[in-house]
Amino acid sequence: MDNQTPENLIKQRTLLIQEVLSLQEFVRGTLVKTKKKCGRKSCKCEKGLLHPHIYISTSRNRRNQVVYIRPNEVGQAEHYIKNYRKLTETLDKISQVNIALLKLEKNNTVKKGK
Ligand SMILES: [Zn+2]
């Protein structure tokens, strides 16, 4: 991001902000896919056909939080989680752009001071 004009950087930042706006469906968490027995004695799971046990593990105020997911919702859950990663990557890029802008401002101030 060196040798950039402030105009270019601001343009980049605008594009990245638009990307942020397109990533509204996000969740911070991890998808956990396991299987388990339900506890009913006559159930097929007692013979080894375990039930899918899927959840998003996340934290809230440093406490663990679990959101159960139906098997047919796995794709959606993965989409939300993937978007969160993209969002943090995009925010990091915006931060880099802003650092470049701050550096440019500082350089300009130094030049003016001469
Ligand atoms: Zn069962």
CA quadruple 11, 17, 21, 27: dihedral sign? positive
pTM comes to: 0.79
Taking the centre of ligand 1 as the mean of its atom positions, its distance from the CA of residue 34, in whole angstroms, is 14
Q: Which strands, in side-by-side order, build the sheet including 30-36?
A: 30-36, 51-60, 63-69
Q: What is the pLDDT of residues 20-69, one digit of tens each?
A: 999 999 999 999 999 999 999 999 999 999 999 999 999 999 999 999 99
Q: Is 1 part of any domain? A: no
Q: Is residue 50 part of a domain?
A: yes
Domain count, the chain: 1
Q: Is residue 85 in some structural domain?
A: yes
Question: How far is ligand 1, taken at its centre, from the CA of residue 77, in Å?
Answer: 24
State residue 24 phi and psi, 5-degree precision. Answer: -80, -25
Residue 82 within any structural domain of the chain: yes
Range of 14's domain?
6-113
Quote the ligand 1 centre to 66 CA distance (angstroms): 21
Element (H, E) at 72: none
Query: Which pLDDT belongs to residue 112?
Result: 58
Q: How far apart are CA 78 and CA 69, in angstroms?
A: 11
